[in-house]
Amino acid sequence: MTRISVVIPVFNRASELQKALISVTTQSYPAEEILVVDDGSDVAVETEFSSQFPGVRFIRQRNLGVSAARNNGIKKAGGDWIAFLDSDDEWLPHKLEAQVQALKNSPESRVCHSDEIWIRNGVRVNPMKKHKKSGGDIFLQCLPLCAMSPSSVLIHKDIFAEVGVFDETLPACEDYDLWLRICSRYNVLYVDQALLKKYGGHDDQLSRKYAGMDRFRIHALLKLLQNGVLNTEQEQAVKNTLVEKSRIYINGAKRRNKAEEVSYYERLLADLKLGTSGRVGLE
């Protein structure tokens, strides 16, 4: 029996949370436990949903961000496997069953994700080619952008003991950072089925809140270089990506008249060309 703990972080999304919880509690393969981590919502979500979902464990914390909420869920989860679900997303009824079956057929795998359906402002949209999902050694695919969705993944809990959990200092791109750390060491099992609906277009999405998202990806890439776990090919690919993203960010910072940021990333570029990227400190 694959024991799965589902971790759902939430902050002021009560209307969306109900749909997410229904999609978990009606799975054809039941989860061992469901943990909703309330990240300091204005009104505690437990007061609204505890009677409707008596089997769900509600954990309330002060507002520390989505990474801290997910990490709190990981820490308190009792299952061997962790599945994440964003509060505004929705699983299809056979999501866990399909992944458990795939893992039975690939018992060496410790990370599994799937395809997804994108809904933007209530309308289904087709992802661009660069967002196409795949499996195996996907580290290079993870460098340009986030190659897995948190709501799609199923991860053995032992992975977090080795690579760490979500970086709570990152206000965005925290999933990009974690997938890089995982995929630099592990192959990923991919279920080529759309097993969830991923919703976008909300006013409170992090991509709308923070301009210049690449600065968080640059931060993650610098950390990865300094960890000393990459092979030669991976290290060179990370440096190439750092150069590309730094150049793009510098151009944007110049347009926004951010002289201090321009100076920082120009120094980073110079150090990368000299092969001394560790000299520039993390922001």
Whether 89 and 68 map to the same domain: the answer is: yes
For residues 73 and 28, membership in a common domain is answered with yes
CA distance 42 to 164: 30
Give the integer Cα–Cα distance in Å for 206 and 9: 14
Task: Check residue 40 and give its pLDDT.
Answer: 97
Phi and psi at residue 69, to the nearest 5°: -65, -45
Residues 84 and 103 in one domain: yes
206, 222, 245 — which closes off a domain? Answer: 206
pLDDT of residue 128: 87
Tell whether 158 and 242 lie within a shared domain. Answer: no
30 burial level (CB within 10 Å; 0-12, 13-18, 19+): middle
**Of 206, 237, 255, which residue sits at a domain end?**
206
pLDDT of res. 280? 43
CATH of the domain at 194: 3.90.550.10
Phi and psi at 5, nearest 5°, equal -105, 125
222 and 164, same domain (yes or no): no
Residues 101 and 230 in one domain: no
Q: Do 49 and 183 reside in the same domain of the chain?
A: yes
Q: Model's pTM, two decimal places?
A: 0.91
Transcribe the chain into DSSP letters.
---EEEEEEESS-HHHHHHHHHHHHT-SS--SEEEEEEES-SS-HHHHHTTT-TTPEEEEE-S--HHHHHHHHHHH--SSEEEE--TT-EE-TTHHHHHHHHHHHSTT--EEEEEEEEEETTEEEPPPGGG----BS-HHHHTTS--S-GGG-EEETHHHHHH----TT-SS-HHHHHHHHHHTT--BEEEEEEEEEEEE--TT-HHHH-S-THHHHHHHHHHHHHHT---HHHHHHHHHHHHHHHHHHHHHHHHTT-HHHHHHHHHHHHHHHHT-GGGSPP-
Going residue by residue through the chain, which has 283 residues, state the pLDDT in tens, using 9 for 90 and above.
789 999 999 999 888 999 999 999 999 999 999 999 999 999 999 999 999 999 999 999 999 999 999 999 999 999 999 999 999 999 999 999 999 999 999 999 999 999 999 999 889 998 888 889 999 999 999 999 999 999 999 999 999 999 999 999 999 999 999 999 999 999 999 999 999 999 986 555 555 455 578 999 999 999 999 888 899 999 999 999 999 999 999 998 898 898 988 898 888 888 877 665 544 443 4
Same domain, 153 and 229: no
Q: What is the pLDDT of residue 204?
A: 52
Give me the domain span that covers residue 275: 214-279
Do residue 242 and residue 158 come from a single domain? no
C-alpha 40: how far from chain center? 20
Per the structure, the count of domains in the chain is 2
d(CA 73, CA 81): 12
pLDDT for the residue 220: 95
Question: Does one domain contain both 139 and 260?
Answer: no
Q: Do residues 32 and 105 both lie within one domain?
A: yes
Beta bridge partners, 83, equal: 6, 154
Record the tokens describing residue 253, joined without a space: 């910072």
d(CA 116, CA 127): 9
| pLDDT value at residue 129 | 86
| Boundary-marking domain end, from 174, 206, 238 | 206
Which among 170, 141, 160 is positioned nearest to 241, based on CA atoms? 141
CB 179 within 8 A of CB 163: no
Question: Is 241 found in the same domain as 101?
Answer: no
